[in-house]
Structure 1
Amino acid sequence: MTQRILSPSESWRRIDAWLATHLASDFALLNPPVTPDQLLRAERVLGTPLPGDLAESLRCHDGVSSWTTILPEQSPLPVSGIVDHWETCMAVAAENDGLSPRPWEDEPWWHPLWVPWAESADGAAQVVDQRPGPDAGRLGWAGNSGGGDFTDSWPDLASLLHAVAQALHEGGDVRGLRPYLTTEGGMWWDEDGCEELNGHPLWAAPIGLPRPPARPDRM
């Protein structure tokens, strides 16, 4: 039986509950929901509606207030950051012939229908590919060195958020990365069996939420 993929809002509710219980400092980095006006302004600049999964995610949290490792490899951008990153990449691509694939690459450096929803630690954008076709909605990396990379890409944002929520509440990994807690009280994702980060110990993150105490039997 195929497992139902949770919607972004359902996954964020589970992620929020886990963070609020185990990592309140990281939970505090999540911004409040985006406003309808902010979404409309962003869509005017991009010239296209935001992907449905992304718009739903932004209605839960308008990205984060500072770079974080709440998610495995990507720090969610606020809608203002989405617009800024898209405009910057469009300008750079236009100046450097980056909108067309080079002969040795399958993808261009940037495409107008790539929506940058998150960033990696080195500043690359994780994008939602809005180009029409069977791969519409997939996630990939772009805007750093080389052409866009959709190798082993997530089929959509909902699938990624679902996998994160499942790992936090039921255990397991997200594409080989597991959640850990740092000595500073933050989140970190790494391979199974990782014991330290920059010389400091890591602890496996707790799975799920504490169960409420059992109610005593009534006399």
Structure 2
Amino acid sequence: MAGHDRRKRPDVNQSWDTIVDWLNRHCPEELDAIGPPATEDDVRDAERALGTALPDDLLAWWRRADGQDGLSGLLPSFYMPCSIRTALHRREMWMTAWNGVMEGADPARFAAFVEQANQATAGTPCKNAWLPRWLPIANDGGGNDLFVDLRPGPAHGCVRQFFRDAGADDAALWDGVAEMLADVAAGLTREVPVQGYRIWVEDDGGISWDDPASRWSIGGKVPVDVTRLRERYAAFVAEARAGGFNPPPAGSWPAEWIAAHVARNTELLIATTRAVLADGPAGREEEQAAAWAAQDWKRHRELMASAARAAAGIRYDNSDAMDPAILARLAGDGLATLADRVERLGARLCDLVEPLNRGRPIAHVRIVEEGTTIIDEPEGWLGVLNALWGRQLPLRTRQLRALR
């Protein structure tokens, strides 16, 4: 749990105003789904159900917006704010369905355990029950909730996670709703990480929160959309050729470095893709499928082991494309030359990708970002290429645009 002085919590109304303004400019459909202020009758119903007053920051939030309709990801990593009615419904569900499973053959003993845990101080771990003084405030549509812990003590009102299969996480994510909304406002407007996730606005205006790894690899089974990949390269090249870039803020790359990064990274991707193709990923997968269908388990195991050995020798490491010395050297060629190079390399990579879609190739992927290694293990190669068009190329294009 964050160590902020609870007497100096951020102002909920200021944070919510910032969030609403950002949504209005970037994701108006998300804003349209936000509910009107909660009624005082709903507030009283919640306090009666819990047997305690709601925290001031939660009340302030619900008095601005009573949840959100539809499936959204306003709160990281993919949580949609609950209305008071939804919160009470989900609380009842957890206390009946989940606790009903956990009480097992000894309901009396379980009830005594719940009673004792419910009187403990807020923030005290409790894995094996949903406690009456826990109130959901958001859900992810998959059975997981954010909730406020309304037991007594200094941590009263802290925000925690409850997982459908594992119960409540031991550590609180935020001291309270006010801190949570302040972090989200900063994440939206300054693109800083919130609990390790960064905001991403899709082309259609939807929002999601990316962890560091997902911006480089998003799974390896979905075929690469080569058309989208070509479009992303074309958009980047057009942006680079448009020119008119200002010097970057301190700590950011200039336009020439961004183009140098894309050029060098594409060279690395081409080299790994050629190695994958030389290894024959599609043929190996077809053999594996045939062995599985014939229930030839020995042959299937041999093919799987062979694939793992081959993948270990096929590597992609983005270090060169992140190295300041290499980027500075390449940047010396100038933006126009780099744009031409990216155009040629992008076309070459796209031409190589189509045959990969017949298999599920694997390569050892090492990703370094800001001096931190965030991936260093075998990954589906299709996932790396899908992340290229889904995140990396749009990200670099947006970085160029931001310098104008």
**Conservation of the 8 A alpha-carbon contact between 1:64 and 1:76:** yes
**Conservation of the 8 A alpha-carbon contact between 1:69 and 1:75:** yes
**Conservation of the 8 A alpha-carbon contact between 1:114 and 1:130:** yes
Matched with 2:206 is 186
**Conservation of the 8 A alpha-carbon contact between 1:127 and 1:139:** yes
Counterpart mapping for 1:65-214 below 5 A: 65-73=69-77, 74-96=79-101, 97=103, 100=113, 106-142=126-162, 144-151=164-171, 153-192=173-212, 194=215, 199=386, 201-202=390-391, 203=394
**Conservation of the 8 A alpha-carbon contact between 1:182 and 1:201:** no
Matched with 2:229 is none
Q: What's the RMSD between the two structures over aligned residues?
A: 2.8
**Conservation of the 8 A alpha-carbon contact between 1:110 and 1:143:** no
Deviation at residue 40 of structure 1 after TM alignment: 1.1
Deviation at residue 133 of structure 1 after TM alignment: 1.9
Distance 1:88 1:121, change over 3 A: closer
Higher relative contact order (Cα pairs below 8 Å, separated by 6+ residues): 1
Q: Secondary structure at the match of 1:66?
A: coil
Residue 34 in structure 1 maps to residue 38 in structure 2: yes
Q: Structure 2-normalised TM-score? A: 0.46
Distance 1:157 1:129, change over 3 A: same
Q: Which 10-residue stretch deviates more, 67-76 or 90-99?
A: 90-99
Segments of 5+ residues of structure 2 without an aligned counterpart are 104-109, 115-124, 223-385, 400-404
**Conservation of the 8 A alpha-carbon contact between 2:99 and 2:130:** no
Matched with 1:20 is 24
Q: Which 10-residue stretch deviates more, 128-137 or 191-200?
A: 191-200
Deviation at residue 48 of structure 1 after TM alignment: 2.3
Q: AA paired with 2:42?
A: Q
Choose from 16, 30, 52 the match for 2:56.
52
Segments of 5+ residues of structure 1 without an aligned counterpart are 208-219
Residue 43 in structure 1 maps to residue 63 in structure 2: no
Distance 1:168 1:5, change over 3 A: farther
Deviation at residue 192 of structure 1 after TM alignment: 4.0
**Conservation of the 8 A alpha-carbon contact between 1:109 and 1:146:** no
Distance 1:165 1:33 in 2: 19
**Conservation of the 8 A alpha-carbon contact between 1:195 and 1:201:** no
**Identical aligned residues as a percent:** 28
Output one character per residue of 1:1-51: Cα deviation in whole Å (capped at 9) or x when no partner.
x89542222111000000001111111111111111121122222332222
Distance 1:29 1:94 in 2: 32
Q: Which 10-residue stretch deviates more, 10-19 or 179-188?
A: 179-188
**Conservation of the 8 A alpha-carbon contact between 2:134 and 2:148:** yes
* Rg larger in structure: 2
Q: AA paired with 1:201?
A: G
Distance 1:201 1:94, change over 3 A: closer
Distance 2:43 2:163 in 1: 23
